[in-house]
Structure 1
Amino acid sequence: MPATTPALTQQPHILVVDDDADMLRLLSIRLTAAGYRVTSVGSAEAALAQLDMERPQLVLSDVRLPGKDGLALFDTVRLRHPSLPVILLTAHGTIPDAVEATARGVFSYLTKPFDGKELLDKIAQALALAAPALPSAHTDEAWRSEIVSRSARMSEVLAEARMVAQSDASVLLRGDSGAGKELLARAIHKASPRTKKPFVAVNCGAIPENLLESELFGHMKGAFTDAHSNHKGLFQAADGGTLLLDEIGDMPPALQVKLLRVLQERAVRPLGSSQSIPVDVRIISATHRDLDAAMAAGQFREDLYYRLNVVTLTLPTLGERREDIPLLANHFLQRLSSKYGKRLSGFAPEALKALAGASWPGNVRQLYNVVEQVCALSTTPLVPLALVQRALRAPQVEVLSYADAKQRFERDYLVGLLKLTDGNVADAARLADRNRTEFYRLLQKHSLTPGAFKAEGVAAPADPVAPGRHA
């Protein structure tokens, strides 16, 4: 974290507490020169009186003070303003007390004589963790409103995305799972001339191979068993707009050939049709796989790769944009608190610190799951460190409502029976101990077509209960 003038619309306010007038003057000069607004007081009692008049963004206090000491000041600040970060300055003899205070929630401590750069770095870190999301400085930033970020890495990616959005060039989004590729694709669509037309996303790895062709290109009535009506594919649904082919690296080789033909001819031919239908679609594809390695292994077509990869944008992992973790955590907490009927004001400083320092192999999606867990379990307005530590240790599982979990289980159970019986409804109903009429109702409820599970059929639509994705 650079110790430069903070890039905020207003100067962050720091309350400095020290009974040494020379030290107070030195700290005030250094912090003012670094771009902070400073209020200086000589005692804990004066600091508490100042806090009653105006709440700063950070308190910087010496441990040894006349009357109430710095540790007692911290305890009172914590009681009145739980989310306000406190940094303590300590002489050698009071280091054990400062260490104990850190365990109790003090953001950090520095020993005297302290290094000026280290002090500014600690202050910048504390303010970054405590600061709310910054308001946009421009009125035309609605296109990326779903992407919560203040990091330089993401700013570079967004600047490139904004530029490429103005053209119709195909874009390949690279990045680890959970990094926010779909959100970036939506942002590109919103910034493009196609913004008023549909944005359609399909996960190529989540749909069975024998279904994916029908889903992408559509089918005609009678094209296969149980095709009782014409079905528009996703290319037609996205006509005039943008189609996101998510996890394109998982697309079966046979379908890659057909996709390439559609991109070359700018027309689709539904299954069972003898005529092609012109489509005007901007393609964005996304993958977490190494497509170069996939091409070398013969798993991905080189001609399709170059058709899709006109412009490449690579999303950083969450670990590469750690300054965004507090913003994202508070953003998710605000969204989820209403879902769970909770009044949550934020995270305790040490809880945010733990989140910022954690490993995030699942990226933003994993952070969302952690925040959802603590939101569901929190019993206090301020999420404590212990709850965050518990969520970080626990295996990251999806949190579904009971109704959604029941629906998902029911659908998966039906799909398993149909696969086992090769689409034979009578056999499947018998195994489920249900009569055929009731079994057909269940299939209709989940949009499952028995013929899709026969050897040469086309499978049913993807799971409608699949969870949403996050950035």
Structure 2
Amino acid sequence: MLNSVIVVDDEASIRNAVEQWLSLSGFNVQLFARAEECLAQLPPDFPGVILSDVRMPGLSGMQLLERLQQLDAGLPVILLTGHGDVPMAVEAMRNGAYDFLEKPFTPQHLMSSLGRALEKRQLVLENRRLHEQADLKVQLEGTLLGMSQGLQQLRRQVLELAALPVNVLIRGETGSGKERVARCLHDFGPRAGKPFVALNCAAIPEALFEAELFGHESGAFTGAQGKRIGKLEYANGGTVFLDEIESMPLAQQAKLLRVIQEHKLERLGANQSIEVDLRIVAATKPDLLEEARAGRFREDLAYRLNVAELRLAPLRERREDIPLLFEHFARSCAERLGREAQPVSGAQLAQLLAHDWPGNVRELANAAERHALGLASPNQAQAADGQSLAAQMEAFEAQCLRAALRQHQGEIKGVMEALQLPRRTLNEKMQRHGLLREDFLAP
């Protein structure tokens, strides 16, 4: 239950009396003598009620109501009025005020009005939160494409973790979309308006690593001309994405650990520490703890980075996402080049589904762009050369069955309806492809 109340009144005796009543009843109270001060310090989505006098120097209670209605029409405002102000207060309620109390009022009357107003505010904020979550979910579905259970679970995890102030480790093969997931963790969280800095640890020469991350002062080393802001300092307030973190030199791992622990860094050649507020999202192919046991990675840093972990399934383990992804990449390429989108034939789709995609989504995107240009992609040519049409169609049928079984979590009736197959035919096809209902049941 919400319990925050802002009291705006130019009379100190009224402010103090109301504060005493409310504090004794467990309310969190803020006091302001002027409406301008209240507006300057009011946070977005304030979780409470505004209690304001009508007649005040500067902005009146009526003008404050008007400003608050513009900022947040769902914020309850209760007006405190003198006897002669009642007609004015009634008019204010028509303009959006929640209630008015005529002075002098009793604590019981005040508590009753506040209780109702806080209940309304709680409903407004909860409804607003649900709408925002639904909007974010729709936006994320358009960013992390896929209908497989794995992708649906990944989107749920990303939305949950995006709002939390924790470091995240992303595990996945090359080309599986680790940077895109890291970007979503940033864009769908409270740091979205701050910098997102991506750094590939395997692409930086070891001699330049420290300067790249931490920056340097003028003359810190030979060739250090002028002061340079490092990537970590530049990302202050935002997110740093460290791809292939397993490639980071051990010496820099120790310095990164210190930044995470102390929220401070020092440029090369400097003696003064700089405070930084960072979220670290790291990505790796191997298991960092195994790397630590082999002496190639600091175990303490591995634990600091892996507060939460996201695992990205390779494309071969979520083949039902291939048609949607291929169509998306091909259409995007065609639009970018001003060309008409090329249709995908059944034989081409079977070839796509039969391929193992060792390069994952990156390789699929390349194949889709070649398709949009009217070129045969290498994987399609290989699939066509190595398999007969019958074999390709068999592979396509097996993938359709797997996708339906995953979607309906092994529920046979749903699979029959989705694929428009009688029970006996479905059983025969599942048996021929070695598919067992039990393998697709929900955990």
What is the TM-score of this pair, normalised by structure 2?
0.54
Matching residue's letter, 1:331 = H
User: Where does residue 357 of structure 1 map in the other structure?
Assistant: 354
Matching residue's letter, 1:158 = R
User: Where does residue 242 of structure 2 map in the other structure?
Assistant: 245
Equivalence map 1:13-412=2 (5 Å): 138-140=134-136, 141-143=138-140, 145-378=142-375, 389-390=380-381
2: distance between equivalents of 1:387 and 1:227? 46
2: distance between equivalents of 1:346 and 1:213? 50
Shift in CA distance, 181/151, structure 1 to aligned 2, threshold 3 Å? same
The structure number with the bigger radius of gyration is 2
Shift of 1:334: 1.2
Equivalence map 1:444-455=2 (5 Å): none
Shift of 1:225: 2.1
Deviations 1:374-414 (A, max 9, x none): 33344xxxxx8x986227689xxxxxxxxxxxxxxxxxxxx
User: Where does residue 110 of structure 2 map in the other structure?
Assistant: none
1: distance between equivalents of 2:341 and 2:362? 21
2: distance between equivalents of 1:324 and 1:160? 18
Question: Could you tell me whether the CA contact under 8 Å between 2:354 and 2:383 is conserved in 1?
Answer: no
Deviations 1:169-218 (A, max 9, x none): 11110111111111111111112111111111101111111112111111
2: distance between equivalents of 1:315 and 1:387? 25
Shift of 1:359: 0.9
2: distance between equivalents of 1:300 and 1:312? 17
Shift in CA distance, 393/249, structure 1 to aligned 2, threshold 3 Å? farther
2: distance between equivalents of 1:199 and 1:143? 17
Question: Could you tell me whether the CA contact under 8 Å between 2:351 and 2:383 is conserved in 1?
Answer: no
Matching residue's letter, 2:298 = R
2: distance between equivalents of 1:215 and 1:375? 39
Shift of 1:291: 1.5
Question: Could you tell me whether the CA contact under 8 Å between 2:239 and 2:281 is conserved in 1?
Answer: yes
Shift in CA distance, 393/340, structure 1 to aligned 2, threshold 3 Å? farther
SS at match of 1:201: strand
Question: Could you tell me whether the CA contact under 8 Å between 2:264 and 2:276 is conserved in 1?
Answer: yes
SS at match of 1:271: coil
Shift of 1:349: 2.1
1: distance between equivalents of 2:324 and 2:141? 15
1: distance between equivalents of 2:161 and 2:256? 23
Shift in CA distance, 250/354, structure 1 to aligned 2, threshold 3 Å? same
Matching residue's letter, 1:314 = R
SS at match of 1:347: coil
Q: Structure 1 regions of 5+ residues with no counterpart?
A: 1-136, 379-383, 395-471
SS at match of 2:202: coil
Shift of 1:281: 0.6
Question: Could you tell me whether the CA contact under 8 Å between 1:144 and 1:187 is conserved in 2?
Answer: no
Q: Structure 2 regions of 5+ residues with no counterpart?
A: 1-132, 386-443
Deviations 1:403-426 (A, max 9, x none): xxxxxxxxxxxxxxxxxxxxxxxx
SS at match of 1:285: strand
Question: Could you tell me whether the CA contact under 8 Å between 1:219 and 1:232 is conserved in 2?
Answer: yes
1: distance between equivalents of 2:166 and 2:330? 36
**Structure 1 runs of 4+ with >3 Å offset:** 338-341, 391-394
Matching residue's letter, 2:381 = R
Deviations 1:111-156 (A, max 9, x none): xxxxxxxxxxxxxxxxxxxxxxxxxx94333245321111111111
SS at match of 2:272: coil
Query: RMSD value over aligned CA atoms?
Result: 2.2
User: Which is worse superposed, 287-296 or 313-322?
Assistant: 287-296
Shift in CA distance, 371/214, structure 1 to aligned 2, threshold 3 Å? same
Q: Percent identity, aligned pairs only?
A: 44
SS at match of 1:245: strand
2: distance between equivalents of 1:216 and 1:299? 20
1: distance between equivalents of 2:191 and 2:197? 12
Question: Could you tell me whether the CA contact under 8 Å between 1:143 and 1:188 is conserved in 2?
Answer: no
2: distance between equivalents of 1:387 and 1:248? 31
What is the TM-score of this pair, normalised by structure 1?
0.51
Shift in CA distance, 319/265, structure 1 to aligned 2, threshold 3 Å? same
SS at match of 1:156: helix
2: distance between equivalents of 1:154 and 1:168? 23
Question: Could you tell me whether the CA contact under 8 Å between 1:245 and 1:286 is conserved in 2?
Answer: yes
1: distance between equivalents of 2:148 and 2:225? 51
SS at match of 1:188: helix
Shift of 1:336: 1.4
Shift of 1:324: 0.7
2: distance between equivalents of 1:328 and 1:143? 15
2: distance between equivalents of 1:248 and 1:348? 41
